[in-house]
Amino acid sequence: MVAAAALLLSPLAAGASGPGTATNNLTNVSGGYVADSSGNAEATSNAEFTVTAGTLSLNQVPNIMLGNVSVKDIATADTKLPVASGAPTAGTAYDGNNTGTLNVTDYRGDNAGWSLTVGMSPFVSGKAAITQATLNLDQTPGSLDNSATAAPKSLKLAQSTVTNGWIASPQLLWDAAANTGEGTNTATTATSSNLLVTKQSNVVAGTYDATLYWALQNAPATTPAT
């Protein structure tokens, strides 16, 4: 037993020109690897780094400002309101920006994909309400780090009820399939977006606000057929 222990502690002789193995390498051979007429001395070593995972984040959502309209317009015909510049003066939502910007970043490093939905509550002004309105929402794609990422969809968002603090019928706006959606993903509300208000003879004058509900999920909404 003593002889065996002594053998384990003894430096190994260079029996070859390398490269080394787990048990016989340049850290424990004596004299190193020899380069001579029989061949080169060869060695291998390691280079290593770690990529740390980040997060999937919803960073920016847009306020949707719409052009002004008269009581006469809505009382006599269906009326289309174009998107406009400016900032909301009322409403109870606080996350929106006034530049029309939508931004999602995915730095998880798992290439799993993601999906983004949006829904719209009814338009109200105090106790008054717009009975029927549809937001035609178009998004212009901006910066997409992965060029394979699909563009946002064009949606027709009808007014939907809010149940337990969240919208009842959201729609899929952006779907990043597996192996897409990584990095930064930006879009902007397109000028082609508009609000179609159905004729309402009893419309009440006032400033009307609706809430947009955005939800980012950590997986695609659709799975391609195999």
Read off the pLDDT of residues 89-133 as tens digits, 9 standing for 90 and up: 999 999 999 999 999 999 999 999 999 999 999 999 999 999 999
Beta-carbon contacts of residue 110 (< 8 Å; ≥ 6 apart): 53
Is the bond preceding 122 in cis, omega lying within 30 degrees of 0?
A: no
Q: Kindly report the CA angle at 205 between 199 and 206, in degrees rounded to 5?
A: 115
Asked if residue 37 has pLDDT above 90, the reply is no
CA proximity to 135, closest of 162, 160, 100 = 160
Q: What is the pLDDT of residues 178-209, one digit of tens each?
A: 999 999 999 999 999 999 999 999 999 999 99
**Among all chains, which residue has been given the structure tokens 């195999």?**
226
89-112 b/e with 16+ CB inside 10 Å = b?
eeeeeeebeeebbbbbbbebeeeb
105 vs 35: which has the higher pLDDT: 105
Long-range contacts of 40-46 (CB under 8 A, 24+ apart): 41/17, 42/17, 42/18, 43/18, 43/19, 44/18, 44/19, 44/20
Model confidence pLDDT, tens digit, residues 46-58: 999 999 999 999 9
Q: Structural domain boundaries of the chain?
A: 1-48, 56-217
Query: Is the model's pLDDT at 10 over the cut of 50?
Result: no
Burial of 37 (0-12, 13-18, 19+ CB in 10 A): exposed
pLDDT number for residue 38: 87
